Structure 1
Amino acid sequence: MSSAPFFTTQAPPSTPPAKRLSGSPSPFSCNLQQPDRLALLIDKSRTISQLLQIHAVIIRHGHENHPILNFKLQKSYSSLGRLDHSIALFSHIDSPNVFFYTAIIHGHAVHGLHRQAVHLYANMLENGVQPNAFTFSSLSKSCSLEPGMVLHSQAIRFGFGEDLYVRTGLLEVYARGGDVRSARKLFDTMPERSLVSWTAMLTCYAKHGDLDDACALFDEMTDKDVVCWNVMIDGFTQHGRPNKSLGLFRQMLEAGVMPNEVTVLSVLSACGQIGALELGRWLHSYLVNNGIQINVHLSTALVDMYSKCGSLEDARLVFQNINAKDVVAWNSMIVGYAMHGFSKGALQLFDEMRNRGIHPTDITFIGVLNACANAGLVTEGREYFNLMSDLYNIEPKIEHYGCMVNLLGRAGHLQEAYALVKNMAIAPDPVLWGTLLGACKLHGNITLGEEIAEFLVSKNLANSGTYVLLSNMYAAAGNWDGVAKVRSMMKGSGIQKEPGCSSIEVDNKVYEFLAGDSSNPKSGEIYRMLEEINRWLKAHGYAPQREIVLHDIGEREKEQSLEVHSEKLAIAFGLISTRPGATIKIVKNLRVCSDCHEATKLISRITGRRIIVRDRNRFHHFMNGSCSCGDYW
């Protein structure tokens, strides 16, 4: 039977035949001459050594051409990682039937040799061997969307279009290829659905951001295993909804489903996104108390979580206890040091890593360049940037250029930063332009800022950050006509400013605040504490920075606007909700403003509290009236 156009390529050359296995007597040779007994032993073999001994017995007793034994040997060799032996056996078969073809196709598919699996299928059709249901379900693991559609048509032509396993495999093909509509259509027409098909459909929705549809489907399921829960938890984590992810994790535990390594990795990532340190610590304890081996992958995830949740001490402790540190582990610790502003520690760790012979990656240099940017180390930053390509043959990516623009711009080298952007080997993105625009605002270079903003608007690259930064520059210069012009442009483009949001974790629960928020049940207590804070600040000489308010309003209105910024509300909530002396940790989605930065320094001195704030760019550790950033951020 001729194949479809896609399946017309030749089969791959076979591996040279393996030598016959013979020699000393095998412990399996006694009373095991019957093929059915040998077949049973093959099924029970768990190591390659056992399988080789059984193979030797088969040859010694003249069963080397027995179809069932050869089929089982071929399949077992593949499952134990010796695909070469499996191919050698297949190459000795004069007229392989569908079972032999299916076994060798399956072996290539599970080992990631997808092109070879498809070639074998083409060879099978060319030799007139008709596939069965297992052929299609095995081959579906190797198909991308376009050949998968051809495979679907062939499954129907050969009469296997309604088979549960075949349909489930095809569903996975459509899901992987992003054809959500076809996947759902196939799912809806299945007369019965396996747990695998439910999971495949869930994966399709989470992977492509259709989280509401995924939730609706998940709620319909009566039988949910750990894989289903993992798909949902990871989907919300990957798409920036960590609170929902953590909520699902709690439901999973209440349902009595035991988490595995995949679950833990997703939940730790969610904890890091919102700064849920206590939940992250509980999860760490859960691993230890349940005897789950904390391998290098879990350890690295813990380092990343602790760093992002503000506990660099815990991150450092986990890192030090990793026995075989790979480059990913080193990168996590270097990035952790950099984001907390401990630039010297990050660079020392980079030197130690190189001295141990570990080759840095592009991620390593993002951490190193960020460390330089946070400390204003311009000369060192230039050297590391050049080191990437000169010594390690790593071509700079957009993130590395962003680090350099941030470093140069904040240090006042605006023209050098501008020249770097214009002469980049790759096209700059809006984030990079926004970084340069922010540097223009910082140093009051309105002329260059206007030039950049006009360019972005003309190229349809402007986003809310572009307009806000330009408005900030006009407001700082008292140019309220310019501010009004920018706001008119934003309104005309339908662009809205991203609202500032601050979160704080108390008693394993994360609370979020917007500016002027009154939705918290303790809102009355929060605002009374805020009034108390304002009295403390004024008594210590604090003067509100009214000039940063981007509205042409009265001075008292500007002052009131500053008093209810989201991070101040979160701090007030932390003061009334935690024991005296406890550290307060805040996560903010935007860069902390200069007024809140100055106020938080004073609050830390007045209350004797350590206050840690993670903003969009970095961590600020406030203690005894000073900040770890040295007022350079």
Structure 2
Amino acid sequence: MEPATVTISHAEQLHRRLIKTAPHSDSYLANTTLRAYSKSSHPDRALRLFLHLHSHPFAPIPDRFTFSSLFSAAGRHRSYTAGCQLHALLIKSSLLPSSSPHSLNSLIFFYSSCRLLFPALQVFDGLLHRDVVSWTSAIAASVDADSPGEALRLFDSMMAEGIPPNDATAVVALRACADLGALAAGRRIHRIARHRGFSSNPNVATALLDMYAKCGMIELAEEMFDRMPERDVFAWTAMIFGLANHGMTRKALDLFQRMVEIGVTPDDRTITAVLCGCRSRGWVTEGYRVYNNMHKLGMSPRIQHYGCMVDLLARAGRLDEAEGFIRRMPVESDSVLWRTLIWASKLHGDTDRAERLMLETPFFKMDSMDSGSFVLKGNVFGSAGKWSEKAATRETMVRRRVGKLPGCSRIEVNGVIHEFEAGDSGHPYAEMIYEKWGEIAEKMRIEGYSPIVSEVMLDMEDEEKASQLNHHSEKLALAFGLITASPGEKIMIVKNLRSCRDCHSAMKLVSRIYDREIAVRDRIRFHHFSNGFCSCGDYW
């Protein structure tokens, strides 16, 4: 796990003492200095110091304590090359078979920080003795690598082996539950934390708050927040994010104001949370007020804050203002900002602007374009009816082997997470699910519903487009939920991408036809459907 931060001045003081001992450097002092640097705000200095010491003929021989600090430093600095070279050096030494779990746990932490799950688990599988830190490090690697299901599997295996979790383990496992929308597992971990006496630990309490918010239980998140005896900036920020993601922007802004008034200093993520709340409601004036007052809090805007403002303006249809905002930024814009504006231009029917920006923006000309830029480019051409240009974009993706992130939706039933992709036929209940959706579609048709075929950016007949829309992943998850959920039980779906307009309209109608509350958490925010209406007010 990531070490606690120490002051850089302390590390520099140790460094000066180390220099005085040269050329016969003291091994204990060298390791102490490396450890201090690895925990400081400049972990890269540990790596540079080791390189300097290692090149000296009288340098102390690296031991397990040396590698532990260096792997931590490489992980905190995201130094992939340095970490791999250190791993190779450890293998060449005679230390690897007898290395302490602590140094190998730091190696797992390094790979976890670089989002490399496979090598992290390889190191974990090779451990002769696994302690709670080993298991927690492997759980963290899984979460960081966007494999929360694997993290919960590891957590269950750890419990099965009789190793009790600590507060750090609970935090990581709750992160996995939050990502998955695994409410039942989250509640189980809450019970374990309460039984072991660390549920009130500030980090655990904040993780619980975040888990409940992301699993659709915003009221429970608020209860957790209200019961916390001490609230640091992380707890305030998690609560503001939770309210903002549920569309409760007024409460989020009021909480932010209360936070500032009682003297809790916001950080970068807090401002991002507040701006996200403004974005979800199209509150441009409030967004500008927060953005313009950052300097009063001793803060300067960062790229994520510029991104929120561009998104806020673009979604509100103020495209000229959003473009001017990007061009006047004092920092270099990234591809995300331009994609945001191009997407909004397509959304508001300004395809001329979208095509112009794609021609002008370097990110859409580079050979190393990511899949997001390709998909957006193809969709812009599709919305303009330029099917040959869209086909050419698709051919380029195939030629460069650029994969498109598939849309998937998850739903928890009886404590088990079920995942669906568009057109999924691999689920054990696939036949029943498609039959159920046929029933749903017929009831919707009787109510006067017609698919929004413009959401399908493909050159095909409307009937084929309607068929594609019927097989979107959240609709399959919804059908499965209606089959398996108890009468009156709220259905909660988590989607990895933004919901399309057709699925959004369908969810509203289904909530009325079946008299069922439905919650969908997409990439942008929560949508709570009830009696034919959505909490977002059709703005997202």
Q: What's the TM-score once normalised by structure 1's chain length?
A: 0.77
The alignment status of 1:590 with 2:497, answered yes or no, reads: yes
Which letter does structure 1 place at the counterpart of 2:163? V
CA–CA distance in structure 2, aligned partners of residues 481 and 399 of structure 1: 35
Which letter does structure 2 place at the counterpart of 1:629? C
Q: Aligned residue for 2:32?
A: 138
5+ unaligned residues in a row in structure 2: which ranges?
1-5, 38-45
Instruction: Please state how far the C-alpha of 1:167 moved relative to its aligned partner.
Output: 6.5
Distance 1:209-1:542 versus aligned 2 partners, 3 A rule: same
Output aligned runs, 1:74-85, within 5 Å. none
Distance 1:573-1:142 versus aligned 2 partners, 3 A rule: same
The alignment status of 1:149 with 2:51, answered yes or no, reads: yes
Q: Is the 8 A contact 1:183 1:201 kept in 2?
A: no
The structure 2 residue matched to 1:444, chosen from 324, 349, 355, is 349
Q: Aligned residue for 2:190?
A: 284
CA–CA distance in structure 1, aligned partners of residues 413 and 213 of structure 2: 18
The alignment status of 1:629 with 2:536, answered yes or no, reads: yes
Instruction: Please state how far the C-alpha of 1:503 moved relative to its aligned partner.
Output: 1.0
Cα displacement string for residues 194-234 of structure 1 (whole angstroms, at most 9, x for unaligned residues): 22233233233323333212212211223100111111111
Which letter does structure 1 place at the counterpart of 2:383? A
Q: Is the 8 A contact 1:233 1:267 kept in 2?
A: yes
CA–CA distance in structure 2, aligned partners of residues 225 and 467 of structure 1: 45
- Three-state SS of the structure 2 residue aligned to 1:122 is helix
The structure 1 residue matched to 2:88, chosen from 185, 194, 197, is 185
Q: Is the 8 A contact 1:480 1:552 kept in 2?
A: yes
- Three-state SS of the structure 2 residue aligned to 1:502 is strand
Q: Aligned residue for 1:203?
A: 109
Q: Aligned residue for 1:431?
A: 336
CA–CA distance in structure 2, aligned partners of residues 506 and 124 of structure 1: 64
Output aligned runs, 1:563-602, within 5 Å. 563-602=470-509
How many equivalent residue pairs?
520
CA–CA distance in structure 2, aligned partners of residues 327 and 432 of structure 1: 27
Which letter does structure 2 place at the counterpart of 1:146? R
Residues 444-453 or 183-192, more deviating:
183-192
CA–CA distance in structure 1, aligned partners of residues 26 and 365 of structure 2: 59
Residues 506-515 or 492-501, more deviating:
492-501
The structure 1 residue matched to 2:61, chosen from 158, 161, 164, is 161
Instruction: Please state how far the C-alpha of 1:353 moved relative to its aligned partner.
Output: 2.1
Instruction: Please state how far the C-alpha of 1:172 moved relative to its aligned partner.
Output: 6.2
- Three-state SS of the structure 2 residue aligned to 1:427 is coil
Instruction: Please state how far the C-alpha of 1:329 moved relative to its aligned partner.
Output: 1.6
Distance 1:624-1:482 versus aligned 2 partners, 3 A rule: same
- Three-state SS of the structure 2 residue aligned to 1:503 is strand
The alignment status of 1:123 with 2:20, answered yes or no, reads: yes
Which has the higher Rg, Structure 1 or Structure 2? 1
Q: State the identity as a percent.
A: 38
- Three-state SS of the structure 1 residue aligned to 2:333 is coil
Which letter does structure 2 place at the counterpart of 1:120? R
CA–CA distance in structure 1, aligned partners of residues 86 and 130 of structure 2: 20
Q: Is the 8 A contact 2:143 2:175 kept in 1?
A: yes
Distance 1:249-1:528 versus aligned 2 partners, 3 A rule: same
Output aligned runs, 1:90-101, within 5 Å. none
- Three-state SS of the structure 2 residue aligned to 1:612 is strand
CA–CA distance in structure 1, aligned partners of residues 230 and 164 of structure 2: 27
The alignment status of 1:503 with 2:421, answered yes or no, reads: no
The alignment status of 1:349 with 2:255, answered yes or no, reads: yes
5+ unaligned residues in a row in structure 1: which ranges?
1-108
Q: Is the 8 A contact 1:171 1:187 kept in 2?
A: no
Distance 1:248-1:164 versus aligned 2 partners, 3 A rule: closer
The alignment status of 1:407 with 2:312, answered yes or no, reads: yes
The alignment status of 1:526 with 2:405, answered yes or no, reads: no
Instruction: Please state how far the C-alpha of 1:266 moved relative to its aligned partner.
Output: 1.1
Instruction: Please state how far the C-alpha of 1:489 moved relative to its aligned partner.
Output: 4.2
The structure 1 residue matched to 2:300, chosen from 395, 398, 402, is 395
Q: What's the TM-score once normalised by structure 2's chain length?
A: 0.90
Which letter does structure 2 place at the counterpart of 1:484? A
Output aligned runs, 1:471-620, within 5 Å. 471-620=378-527
Instruction: Please state how far the C-alpha of 1:150 moved relative to its aligned partner.
Output: 3.3
Instruction: Please state how far the C-alpha of 1:134 moved relative to its aligned partner.
Output: 3.5
Which letter does structure 2 place at the counterpart of 1:555? D
CA–CA distance in structure 2, aligned partners of residues 193 and 485 of structure 1: 54
- Three-state SS of the structure 1 residue aligned to 2:529 is strand
Which letter does structure 2 place at the counterpart of 1:402? G
- Three-state SS of the structure 2 residue aligned to 1:621 is strand
Distance 1:173-1:317 versus aligned 2 partners, 3 A rule: closer
Q: Aligned residue for 1:248?
A: 154
Q: Is the 8 A contact 2:313 2:319 kept in 1?
A: yes
Aligned alpha-carbon RMSD (Å) = 2.5
